[in-house]
Amino acid sequence: MRSFSLAGTLFILMAFLGAEAQERQQASAETAPELRRQVLVLDINTRVTENEHEEIWAQSLQRIAIPGSPVTIRLVGSNIVVAVQFTPFIRRRGSVLVAHGQIWINDPNRGISYYTSIQTIPMEFNEPIYFFPLGASQTSGPSIEIIITIKSYRGIAAAEEAINKNEHGQ
């Protein structure tokens, strides 16, 4: 599966599908206090490395999500497409993040290959979750690493409010 080359000609785009829906969810959460407790913030850090240490590309983004609604990341390279949906579920007895990855690789010797995976990952707020769409990092060859940290929007809003009060001497 690692016979493709990410180095050099790699061009990656991150596209978040449903941006309008997320904006509507954020607007609704800001106007409806009862929904605010259900709004989540996903900090997403993505990087591509060569030989485990050489970082080829990196990007950090933040997205708003409602539990049960997926956030999609799409990485597009010269011979690879990686699409991952992250869906957080908040439960009383342990919250989880469901990660559904799909990978298309165009190998000149074998043609187009398709791989898919789905994982249910236990999660805690403010704890990083590591996801490797191409498998765990190896000592040689390219690797894609996605780190997701999920936070409560309410907790962030309360912290920002406290900071603003301190800045204005209240």
- Contact between 1 and 115 (Cβ < 8 Å): yes
* Selected residue with higher pLDDT from 139 and 94: 94
Q: What strands, in cross-sheet order, belong to the sheet with 142-152?
A: 54-65, 40-50, 142-152, 128-131
Q: What is the pLDDT of residue 122?
A: 94
> Which sequence spans correspond to the domains of the chain?
19-167
| pLDDT category of residue 45 using cuts at 50, 70 and 90 | very high
* Selected residue with higher pLDDT from 155 and 86: 86
- Contact between 89 and 70 (Cβ < 8 Å): no
Q: What is the pLDDT of residue 113?
A: 93
Q: What is the pLDDT of residue 21?
A: 45
Q: What is the pLDDT of residue 84?
A: 96
Say how far apart CA 154 and CA 29 lie, in whole Å.
10
The distance of Cα 21 from the centroid of its chain, to the nearest Å, equals 17
- Predicted confidence (pLDDT) at residue 5 exceeds the cutoff of 90: no
pLDDT tens readout for residues 72-105: 999 998 889 999 999 999 888 889 999 999 999 9
E strand segments, the chain? 40-50, 54-65, 71-76, 80-89, 95-107, 111-123, 128-131, 142-152
| pLDDT category of residue 51 using cuts at 50, 70 and 90 | confident
